Amino acid sequence: MAKRIITTDNAPQAIGPYAQGTHASNLIFTSGQLPLNPQSGELIDEIKAATKQSLENVKAILTAAGAKMSDILKVTVFLRNMNDFTAMNEVYAQYFPTDPPARSAVQVARLPKDAVIEIEAIALIS
């Protein structure tokens, strides 16, 4: 199966030369999602609200590809400040109440637009 580019108006448009997501074979890869509101373009900087927005953006890309959050195999969370880890987890847990995917969470020196969080995912579509 050839690579298919995933696009949706329900997630922020790419701010560089990359796709919102790609689909090949039975895997979906989302690009890292900043906490940008796709309708207003507002960058959210309170960590709980930012986590929710980033996950909603991931969800929108998966939905556009025909997948669900429960199809996610692996998530990578990039945090500007590891002190936000607990607050991020409070929101994150709401999206994966049972059988959560594998995950890495790392603190990074800086994110695009000086965001507090960026989240990317790999999902298996059946």
First to last CA, the chain: 14
pLDDT band at 126 (very low <50, low <70, confident <90, very high): confident
pLDDT at 116 over 70: yes
* Percent of the chain surpassing pLDDT 90: 97
Residue 65, domain extent = 4-124
| Distance, CA of 47 to CA of 33 (rounded, Å) | 14
Structure tokens at 81: 């400040």
- pTM of the entire structure? 0.97
The CA-based diameter of the chain, rounded to the nearest angstrom, is 42
Overall number of domains in the chain = 1
Over residues 13-29, the mean pLDDT reads 95
pLDDT at 1 over 70: no
pLDDT per position as a tens digit, 28-47: 999 999 999 999 999 999 99
CATH number, domain at 55? 3.30.1330.40
